[in-house]
Amino acid sequence: MAFLIGERYPLWSVFTAEDAAQARKVLISQSIHLALVDIHMPGESGLDLCAYIRNEHEAECILITAFQEFDYAKQAIRLQVLDYIVKPVISKELYHVLDAFKEKHRYLEGSPPIQEALAIIHQHYQTKLNLSELAERIHVAPTYLSRKFSEELGVSFQEYLVKYRIEKAKKLLKEEPHWSMSKIAEETGFSSQNHFNYTFKKLVHFSPRQYKESLIDD
């Protein structure tokens, strides 16, 4: 399936996990938009994992199973999964589902102004960025860019920037366990460690230190 997705959508980042425990670690360390989950896997079931994803992460779920029991379909509906695929997975069916996901979340492709804006944010998130300067760099009016963020991403420019910085901070907490919190705050564009701590806890519901300790426990 990873190969099929890569063939059709070469710009998508694909992460794999053998079981729910590995999947949870991926969800914590990466910004995931869509999860394809097998109902039957070692340990925690795919249904339970989808329930966790729906409650704790902003990601869609597609359930996959070799069994066609109606009970699974009913549970999938209750979990509000995007779709339900029966194995063996046929490429045509997989692409149909993924195309529907892409259509539902058009911001993943984005208009040219949004794509330019996101490219700049992703490259320069450590620096001071504001909407007016960003709009000037991509040659559009600030009010227009502000409206495009709301329309295509469903959040404001500032909300997107802060969330992106927090995702980068989560990655650094995992990859650089010996770094101080002040260094991580500086590396991710926060004006102070206090601001970083406050924002992280507000979005993640854990302090950066608690989050780091949870990674060690796992």
pLDDT 10s per residue in the chain (218 long)?
888 887 777 667 789 999 999 999 999 888 788 999 998 888 888 889 988 988 888 788 988 887 666 566 666 666 677 777 888 888 888 998 998 888 777 656 678 898 889 888 988 999 999 999 999 999 999 999 999 998 877 789 999 899 889 988 988 998 898 999 999 999 999 999 999 999 999 988 889 999 888 877 55
Angle between helices 157-175 and 20-29 (to 10 degrees): 120
Cα separation, 181 vs 184, in Å, equals 5
- pLDDT of the residue at 77: 62
- pLDDT of the residue at 31: 77
- pLDDT of the residue at 72: 64
Question: The pTM is what?
Answer: 0.56
Neighbouring residues of 105: CB distance < 8 A, sequence distance ≥ 6: 33, 60
C-alpha distances (whole Å) from 112 to each of 28, 49, 170 are 29, 35, 28
Distance of CA 43 to the CA centre of its chain: 24
Cα separation, 167 vs 173, in Å, equals 10
Question: What is the edge-to-edge ordering of all strands in the sheet holding 83-86?
Answer: 34-38, 60-65, 83-86
- pLDDT of the residue at 127: 94
Angle between helices 142-153 and 112-124 (to 10 degrees): 90
Residues 47-51: contacts with CB under 8 Å, at least 24 apart: 47/72, 47/75, 47/76, 47/79, 48/20, 49/20, 49/23, 49/24, 50/76, 50/79, 50/81, 51/79
